[in-house]
Amino acid sequence: MPEPGVCLFQLRIFRAGVPAGGKPLPDWYTLTPEEVRRELGTGPAGLSAKEAAERLQRYGENALREEARETPLQVFLRQFKSILIAILVIAAAVSFLVGEPQDAVAILIIVVLNAVLGFSQEWQAGKAIEALKKMLVQRAVVVRDGEQSEVDASVVVPGDLVVLEMGERVPADLSILEATSLQVDEAPLTGESAPADKEPGPLPPGTELAERSNMVFAGTTVVNGRGRGVAVATGMETEFGKIAGLSQLVTAEATPLSRQMDVLGRDIGVIAVGIAVLAVAVGLLQQRELLEMFLIGVSLAVAVIPEGLPAVVTLTLAIGIKNMMRRNCLIRRLSASETLGAVSVICTDKTGTLTRNEMTVVRVRTPDAEAAVTGTGYAPEGEFLLDGRAVDPQGYPGLARFLRTVLLCNHATLAGDGEGEWRIFGTPTEGALVVAAAKAGLSREDAPEAAGEFSFNSTRKRMTIIYREEDGDVAYVKGAPEVLLDRSSRVFLEGSAVPLTADLRDRIRQKVAEYASGGLRVLGAAYRPLPADLPRTAETVEDDLIFLGFAGILDPPRPEAAEAIRLCRSAGIDVVMITGDNPLTAYAVARDLGLSSEGALVGADLEALADDELERRLRTTKVLSRVTAEHKLRVIDILSRERAVIAMTGDGVNDAPALKKANIGIAMGIKGTDVAKESSDMVLVDDNFASIVAGVEEGRREYDNIARFTRYLLSSNIGEIVAIVGGLLAGLPLVLIPAQILWINLITDGLTALALGLEPAEQDVMQRRPRDPGEPILTRTAFLVILVLGAWLGLLTLYVFSGLYHIDLDRARTMAFSGLIIFELYNVLNFRSFRFPLHRIGFFSNPTLLYAILGSLALQVLVVYVPVFQTFLGTAPLTLADWGLLALLGLPVLLAGEVYKALRVRGAVEAG
């Protein structure tokens, strides 16, 4: 039965943080176990089944509240929000009203195709909260009515007494009541790479989340020991739940490309309407028929709008996604591949991203030797080097005894799968010691019988296991070097125990400090043969120790990470390390990777600095440690002030809000949690930071190609406008009918534009600084170029038409129709590069474009000679001489472009 505090509990506990009486709940970590149980109305027997059921009704299931997802219909309809799409739908309606249903049908086919493509890419997005829900454990062991029972984790309620065992996920936020060697992996929540030691007892107010040693949190994992705790928060009130709520409040940022396309669509829409209205007005003043002017207005609207632009952008991005996948970048959102190319800042986690997340012993220091240990990860492959020379540790008594001690005073085990893959069962730090011993050929197969143990905790900072050996009991101890030194009276030197002098003690402490400042986690070892009559208590056994030495343990950087950071620097991309780990460790890793930073900022520094001061510090300080999810969001907001395009990498639950907030969130594919993956725009399949650089290169290529075919399409459309408006002003018949304009746009917006989207990256693509996200696709220079080329195409078309219309109108239109397509096919070669002539980029370097040009010509021949197409498009047969004339007229378009680019390159070289 519950204790008398139940009634008080019913007044105090609530769903959102303030009880019914208005008094806030206490900070649970500041209370003693007795105070926690009293507040929650529970005792050693736990809750009764009846009370647990009542609380479940009152507070709901221990589950995360799901964010409402869009329906398939909503996602599909959202594809029609583009301004260009809206104008196309209007143009289709007008075409139908004026008796041109074939034009309307063709336009609508393009619109629907674009919507289907966009829908297929977006429907899998938005699952972050579902993944968070899956992270909660499915089963939990609780004590109710005095007996243990296994229940579904969703029915755990505040006040439940929960039993924790090694390997289990924590079902709710718990206040620790009992703990025996209890260690919990909190990396997914706090970013801390080392398991956290847990023990009961109150902590001071203001203790950071990562330092709350008397609490365990939902979704984390017990990696060592056992314990009991009382549930103080469930569901959305847990730390997991707070992050879930934070993720729901974060809105996805619009990508630079989407913003630029919206601006372009708006501008094109205004121009289309303006030109159409002006042309109709001029025609009516010329006393032309109203129906003819409607046809001209529709023709101009169709000519101005690049119908295929949305579809070609979508297809180009989709093709880019496949290319990204080949480079180990799994793109989850269509526009993310292009956005990656605009990234100017990468905020990256350390553990598992820049490092391997595999603790490794790299140095062992004994009183008479210092050995470097080679090999990384958990594979038991490596050597011990003394003065650069490989040695057998068994030949050095001090080194051999140290390795045997850390192996025996250890609960971790090493296992291989027979295919070269190794893993550790236990804590990463203990696993690193087991691997180091295995490299020396040691194992626990012949270990003596264990006779007792004194477990590690954050207060004792040491662990002891007693073994029965032939000559009597021996205590093997490992822990913080400074703690072992204080409890040692002797040191193992040159094969025997000698007195530990004050001078030697100081030199050992100095060396320990040197290891720690180098970013190494330092762990010492000692031993003691135990007299038979010595009481077996921790205080008596762990005294008069013989100090053996210490090991420097490192989470090694990924071998390719340093080169990746160098490439980011050459590409003008700033890298900021954001981690929950120790600042000294983080700074040392940054230094080893070549990431320049003026020291490191911790979470408390971030809270103390005003936004302006933090913005200034972030310009030179690139290492941020001990940060929370809120800190990461604030950093992203501040970095965004300077119009930076921010990529955020992460693998833990605590990274989810920032992954969603950043312009592009990048999750780790192997070590990343489901939460991180579902909150991201991109997943690194190989967890390789270098893959981000490859993705940036691909993203830059994509944007360059989108800019290429956008400008090409607009130059082509300007040619159509000049031809139509020029004919109108000259009093000529309609130069091109709407169906012919639509066909031209299908050819140029389709085959050739899409092939232009496959253009290889220019050689210096990763030596350029990131583009300004505020810079429009149509710069002043680009607009001038497309205006000149477009006017040239239009005037050529008008010249061809004006010489023939008075003889044969159908043949004149066919010549103008075919001529404009040929001129545009010449023109597409100009847009393969804005800077380099064809001989520099290689005429055959994009064979798909050459095939598209030939295919477009073949299709045009079909519509000129096949009767059904002649009826639909109003064409008439042409002679071979006609085709030859059109080819000769278009050739100067290409030659002029090549001359311009050659002069531009020469000028750039001379200026350089």
Q: Which residues are part of the catalytic machinery?
A: 349
Residue 140 tokens read as 């939990």
Instruction: Please answer whether residues 690 and 666 qualify as being in contact, where contact means their C-beta atoms are separated by less than 8 angstroms.
Output: no
Q: Which residue has the tokens 């662990």?
A: 463
Q: Which residues of 648-664 are buried (b: 16+ CB within 10 A; e: fewer)?
A: bbbbbbbbbbbbbbbbb
Chain centroid to CA 587: 22
The burial of 145, by beta-carbon neighbours within 10 Å (0-12 exposed, 13-18 middle, 19 or more buried), is given as: middle
Instruction: Please answer whether residues 723 and 797 qualify as being in contact, where contact means their C-beta atoms are separated by less than 8 angstroms.
Output: yes
Region of 146 on the Ramachandran plot (φ > 0 left; ψ -120 to 50 alpha; else beta): left
Residues 6+ apart with CB under 8 A from 699: 320, 337, 338, 339, 340, 341, 342, 343
Q: Which residue has the tokens 């027997």?
A: 45
Q: Any alpha helices (H) in 17-136, and if so which ranges?
A: 33-40, 49-59, 72-78, 83-97, 101-122, 128-135
Q: Which residues of 385-406 are buried (b: 16+ CB within 10 A; e: fewer)?
A: eeeeeeeebeebbbbbbbbbbb
Chain centroid to CA 5: 47
* Residue 292 to residue 724: CA distance in whole angstroms: 13
Q: How many CB atoms lie within 10 A of CB 546?
A: 24
Pairing of β 215-216 and β 147-152: unpaired
Collapse the DSSP code of 549 into the 3-class scheme (helix H, G, I; strand E, B; otherwise coil) and give the result: strand
The DSSP-derived string for 95-123 is: HHHTT-HHHHHHHHHHHHHHHHHHHHHHT
* Residue 681 to residue 693: CA distance in whole angstroms: 16
Sign, CA dihedral 56-61-62-64, equals negative
Run of H or E including 389: strand 389-391
Residues 6+ apart with CB under 8 A from 483: 460, 461, 462, 524
Residues 6+ apart with CB under 8 A from 85: 79, 111, 114, 115, 310
Residue 403 tokens read as 């390795």
Region of 599 on the Ramachandran plot (φ > 0 left; ψ -120 to 50 alpha; else beta): left
The closest alpha carbon to 157, from 55, 33, 228, belongs to 55
Q: Phi first, then psi: what are they for 205, rounded to 5°?
A: -60, 145
Pairing of β 545-554 and β 496-499: unpaired
* Residue 13 to residue 24: CA distance in whole angstroms: 9
The burial of 429, by beta-carbon neighbours within 10 Å (0-12 exposed, 13-18 middle, 19 or more buried), is given as: buried
* Residue 549 to residue 410: CA distance in whole angstroms: 16
DSSP 748: I
Q: Which residue has the tokens 């490596």?
A: 382
Q: Kindly give the interhelix angle for 809-830 and 880-911, rounded to the nearest 10 degrees.
A: 30
Instruction: Please answer whether residues 553 and 511 qualify as being in contact, where contact means their C-beta atoms are separated by less than 8 angstroms.
Output: no
The burial of 202, by beta-carbon neighbours within 10 Å (0-12 exposed, 13-18 middle, 19 or more buried), is given as: middle
